[in-house]
Amino acid sequence: MSGTMPDQAEKTVNGSRWKQTLGGVAADSFLVNFSVLLAFELVYQFEIPSAVWTRISFYCAGLTLLSIIAFAKSGVYRVEPRYLGLPDCLKLAYISLGLGLLLLFMESAPGAGRDFKPAIPVLFSLLCAALLIGRRVGQRMYAWRTSQSGDGRPIRRTIVVGAGDAGDMILREISKSPMPQHHVVGLVDDDPAKQSASIRGCPVIGRTDDLARLVREKGIEEILIAIPSAKGAEIRRIFEICRHTGARVRLLPAIPSIIQGAAHLDQFREVQIEDLLNREPVTLNWSEVKSQISGERVLITGGGGSIGSELARQIVEMSPATLILLGKGENSLYEIEQELIATVGFRPTVVVADVKDATRMEQVFRRERPTVIFHAAAHKHVPLMESNPSEAIKNNIQGTSVTAELAIRYGVRKFIYVSTDKAVNPSSMMGATKRVGEMIIAALAGMDETEFAIVRFGNVLGSRGSVIPTMKAQIARGGPVRITHKDMTRFFMTIPEAVQLIIQASALGKNGEIFTLDMGEPVKIYDLAVDLIRMHGLVPDEDVKLEFTGVRPGEKMHEELYDSREHVIKTSYPKINMTLNNAPIDLELLRGEIDTLVNLCDADQTDRAREFLMELAWGKRVIQANRPV
């Protein structure tokens, strides 16, 4: 992208500046003429001879022309009044002195045929300097006085990045605010067609490549990035330009309400690491999804977790009859309950329970009678589950079996199982337990009226215990930031995006299908760490060291979304694929193997349980390869 604008765009960029400059030229020309006249009046004691008026007219014309040239050459019209300083005042004083010397030369020229009055050029220089500087000091005082909003907070000089619908809505909100916090100097946009635009009286003053220059020239204090549809690569490029300017940078994130046309100033936030991922914003068929949720009794297991709590936030917007949040962590459940009450006035039913406790779970089903279930309860920390395999097996496998079997028994209409890419060709305890969870759902599908679906995706940014919070804590301590391997990659998506696609997939699934979410391109953990350090205003390997620790047990260098036995089919939604596995599973045999696995855990036969689990997850025990689907 070029930083040089075409001629038409350059005219537009300078349009508002020229209007302001012409006004300044007119005011200064008047002051120069007034200074000439007043100097003569004072010297002649307000009794100027009629013959002198011809000289005055000549001097006024000549000095006005020369002053305009001097002002233009010195750059005094490029100075914002609010940022007038001593160097700018000295420029005006020098120009006034120069004009006075010219007047002295004209008054004292040999053979001029007139009385030489040296007081006239001296008075002129003093008056001219005082008036020119005084005008700008007055503007500066006015600018500072009007830079305070009605509630006493300063009005920030702002540039809006993006001259589209979101930018238009932001300008409209600022213009209608009784106590605005922003003075929008202009917009920037990379669309050539918009370089000749003016939105609500605010001109497009350049492109994103011009931001550094514009911040310097116009004293910009804040940059608002109002492009909610921009990809991560574009946000990354703009942020790299902005972060060197010293201005505060805030972003309008790509959330559904904004994409659908409801942008507000209070939705702007600091740029976060997930904004820099090379991902397209999600646009979902909310009318179809809402029809699946509206009026239903929705149960979310793991309701206090990162995925579960975000499911709750989005589902309450779809008018469920009841929302039941179930989990073991009372504190996290309490937090999301209070948040929903405070933000949307919705009071969910909160149940503290363990999904692997069959008796307790049946009590919950009997009392609450859920009709739609999102099963998000799971242990997900790979290294931690390597050292605690029994808990991973019981929570992720036994808990899934208990919940899914109860769903059939109590006539649940739809059951959505939240899985992970680590279930594909599993190498860890966590991945293997999630793969067996997928097998449970696939085996139960079609047994009764309950519609089952599996949603599989990769890492979510910002979830508790995940890489981003860990790196942030390491940066806050001054480093080092620990990375297992420089080439290790992972699929990433944001928590809201993952949940939007989970809900959308729930409208598609009916018979145990696996829905895989489009995770985009895999991201190097090393690149993520470098971006995060830079976002803190620090230099990688200088301010904060990067340390490589080696691949941990159970970890893969690169994750997968499908295995060789699965067939990927496109759905009607571009970010959701359907995956079919033609290897049928013997349900009764699977139930027996799960019982055996749980018994091994109870008997503390950890090594045997590990071996048994991996055999089960890899399909060596219950998949009937020779049976047709």
* pLDDT tens for each residue of 327-379: 999 999 999 999 999 989 999 999 999 999 999 999 999 999 999 999 999 99
Higher pLDDT, 175 or 187: 187
Give the CA diameter of the chain: 123
Residues of the chain with CATH 3.40.50.720: 156-271, 287-462+487-525+558-584
Torsion of CA 32, 34, 36, 42, to 10 degrees: -150
Mean pLDDT of 438-458: 89
156 backbone dihedrals φ, ψ, rounded to 5°:
-90, 135
pLDDT at 612: 94
Q: What is the CA radius of gyration of the chain?
A: 35
Distances (CA, A) of 246 to 187, 188, 224, 228: 18, 18, 14, 23
Catalytic residue among 380, 422, 556, 575: 422
pLDDT at 415: 96
Tell me the pLDDT band of 398, cut-offs 50, 70 and 90: very high
pLDDT at 284: 64
- Look at the alpha carbons of 389, 392, 393, 394 in this order and tell me if their dihedral is positive or negative: positive
Asked if residue 144 has pLDDT above 70, the reply is: no
pLDDT at 262: 57
Which DSSP category does 5 fall into? P
Asked if residue 219 has pLDDT above 50, the reply is: yes
Distances (CA, A) of 96 to 71, 154, 449, 544: 10, 35, 91, 54
Q: What percent of the chain has pLDDT over 70?
A: 86
Token pair in block for residue 491: 């699929």
Query: Rounded CA gap, 32 and 139, in Å?
Result: 18
Q: What is the per-residue pLDDT across 572-617, written as a single tens digit (0 to 9) for each?
A: 777 788 887 767 788 899 999 999 999 999 999 999 999 999 999 8
What's the residue count for the chain? 629
Distances (CA, A) of 235 to 250, 275, 276, 534: 11, 7, 6, 14
543: CB partners within 8 A, 6+ apart: 479, 533
Distances (CA, A) of 460 to 228, 467, 492: 20, 9, 6
422 has catalytic annotation: yes
Q: What is the per-residue pLDDT across 290-302, written as a single tens digit (0 to 9) for each?
A: 888 999 999 999 9
Ranking 170-179, 246-255, 514-523 by mean pLDDT, the lowest is 170-179
Query: Rounded CA gap, 431 and 442, in Å?
Result: 17
Tell me the pLDDT band of 623, cut-offs 50, 70 and 90: low
434 backbone dihedrals φ, ψ, rounded to 5°:
-70, -35
Ranking 155-164, 519-528, 605-614, 617-626 by mean pLDDT, the lowest is 617-626
Q: Is the separation of the CB atoms in 358 and 398 below 8 Å? A: no
Superfamily designation of domain 287-462+487-525+558-584: NAD(P)-binding Rossmann-like Domain (3.40.50.720)
Single pTM value for the model:
0.65
Q: Is the separation of the CB atoms in 351 and 312 below 8 Å? A: no
Higher pLDDT, 31 or 551: 31
Torsion of CA 225, 227, 229, 232, to 10 degrees: -40
pLDDT at 278: 55
- Give, for 233, the enclosing helix (H) or strand (E): helix 232-242
Token pair in block for residue 413: 């209409």
Coil, helix or strand for 319? coil
Asked if residue 180 has pLDDT above 80, the reply is: no
Closest CA to 283 of 593, 494, 466, 497: 497
- Domain 156-271, what architecture? 3-Layer(aba) Sandwich (3.40)
27 backbone dihedrals φ, ψ, rounded to 5°:
-65, -45
pLDDT at 202: 83
Query: Rounded CA gap, 374 and 504, in Å?
Result: 12
Q: What is the per-residue pLDDT across 112-128, written as a single tens digit (0 to 9) for each?
A: 556 668 888 899 999 99
Mean pLDDT of 28-47: 89
Amino acid letter, residue 487: D
- Please state whether the peptide bond connecting residue 480 to the residue before it is cis, i.e. omega within 30 degrees of 0: yes
Higher pLDDT, 555 or 215: 215
Tell me the pLDDT band of 453, cut-offs 50, 70 and 90: very high
Q: Where are the alpha helices (DSSP H) in 75-210?
A: 86-108, 119-146, 165-176
pLDDT at 492: 79
What is the per-residue burial (b if ≥16 Cβ within 10 Å, else e) of 101-114? ebbbeebeeeeeee
